[in-house]
Amino acid sequence: MILKPAPPFSRARRRFLARALQGLAVAGLAGLPSWAWPAAAEKAPEDFFKAWRQRQPRPAVDESDPNLFVLARLRYPAQNATRGGWDECRAGDENILAWLRGVSNLKISNRPFAERVVALGDSAGLGHHPFLLMTGQSDFAFTPEQAATLGEYLKRGGFLFADTSCRLGKGFHAAQSRELPRLVPGCSLLPVPGDHEMFRSGFYNDVEINGVLTKMSEPPLGLFYRNRLVALLTGDGFLRDCAGLERSWPRTERALKLATNIILYSLTH
């Protein structure tokens, strides 16, 4: 039995989100100069960024507002739940949200991580979130029902960003390479070209994005439906970089900027 498809996202909601993301302040992360990597971050990056996030302004919002941006994390069953599960690198999500609050006018939900989780089989929940984040290290497989539901979500305007949480997660990357084309039959995973507008939706020029792409150990792959990029797969430990776990500020800044571009593109296409 195929689950009820996720409802389409309204054009009014997308226009609102697009306007909210206009006028990005292209600047370094507040309180973190791009030319230095603090010693505290070198020793304990998770503690350092937790303290940094607590210092960032978090405007009060009406959580019932349907126009709030929610960075939703997709929960799915992995074959090896003890190694690299769906909820890895939560700090990466939190750093992305803190960064977005600083560089955009986007109205962002203040819900804790647990309230931003969407189960793979929750078609109604999927329909409330135009952007989904999925990560892990282990192999997995969608059931036919799950593939059909997630495929409808993508075809109706949703966007899935799938990231291998570390470079050891070959099982997850291989599973995504196999499973993503199942979501939209007739479509294949293709390399995302460096001149794709996603890479220039907020930050970066031609020279900078070429530098970003050449530093990736795995080229980004995309699933395209009717010429729209509906799913992106990276295999470079992107969320670890967002979380600062690689202890390299240039990598963290690069990842946070790219996250902004991906989210901006997903909300405007």
Mean pLDDT of 215-241: 87
CATH number, domain at 200? 3.40.50.12140
Please indicate, yes or no, if residue 15 is contained in any of the structural domains.
Answer: no
Q: What is the reported pLDDT for 10? A: 57
Is residue 37's pLDDT more than 80? Answer: no
| Positive or negative torsion for Cα 11, 13, 19, 24 | negative
Please indicate, yes or no, if residue 27 is contained in any of the structural domains.
Answer: no
* More confidently predicted of 216 and 222: 222
Is residue 94's pLDDT more than 50? Answer: yes
Please indicate, yes or no, if residue 95 is contained in any of the structural domains.
Answer: yes
Please indicate, yes or no, if residue 89 is contained in any of the structural domains.
Answer: yes
* 177 burial type by CB count under 10 A (0-12 exposed, 13-18 middle, 19+ buried): middle
Q: What is the domain extent for residue 102?
A: 40-268
Strongest mean pLDDT among 17-21, 30-34, 113-117, 168-172: 113-117
pLDDT tens per residue across span 45-72: 778 888 888 888 888 999 999 889 999 9
* More confidently predicted of 245 and 33: 245
Please indicate, yes or no, if residue 26 is contained in any of the structural domains.
Answer: no
Mean pLDDT of 187-210: 79
Is residue 132's pLDDT more than 60? Answer: yes
* 208 burial type by CB count under 10 A (0-12 exposed, 13-18 middle, 19+ buried): middle
Phi, psi of 123 (to 5 degrees): -65, -35
Amino acid found at 211? G
Number of domains in the chain: 1
Is residue 261's pLDDT more than 60? Answer: yes
Q: What is the reported pLDDT for 14? A: 59
